Homo-oligomer: A and B are copies of this chain.
Amino acid sequence: MTDNKNDTGHSFAAYFKRATSPLVVLSLLKKQPMYGYEISAEMDRISNGRYTIAVLYPVLYRLQEQGYIDSSASEIVDGRARTYYSITSEGSEYLECTVDEYHKITEVFEGFIRGKK
């Protein structure tokens, strides 16, 4: 067993992604609108394969339901349908707030692991 995963459990990375994957998607869409497959590929490329999501689409649907991203009508490129997603102003606000929250809680967490008294 070379990874930090139990027989039945999830790895630390999976739980970390549970918390952070919407922020990663919003951060990518902040640079420019992208379609699903492109977002997956970008996550893989930028992280050098260290941060990928097995199934991205449910993340996109949730972000859209929450009003944090918009989707365009799908357009055909090289015979394949693409749906482009873009961040909304609510999404930008949520991203900013939640990144702040991330910084605050990591500060506390790092106090714990440093053995703060």
Contacts and interface: CB of A to CB of B under 8 A. Distances in A.
Interface of A: 4, 6, 12-13, 15-16, 18-20, 23-24, 27-28, 30-31, 43, 46-47, 50-51, 66, 94-95, 97-99, 101-102, 104-106, 108-109, 111-113, 115-117
Q: How many copies does the complex hold?
A: 2
A12 B98 contact: yes
Contact of A113 (B6, B16, B23, B97): B23
A54 to B, nearest CB: 16
A106 B108 contact: no
A105 to B, nearest CB: 5
A104 B13 CA distance: 10
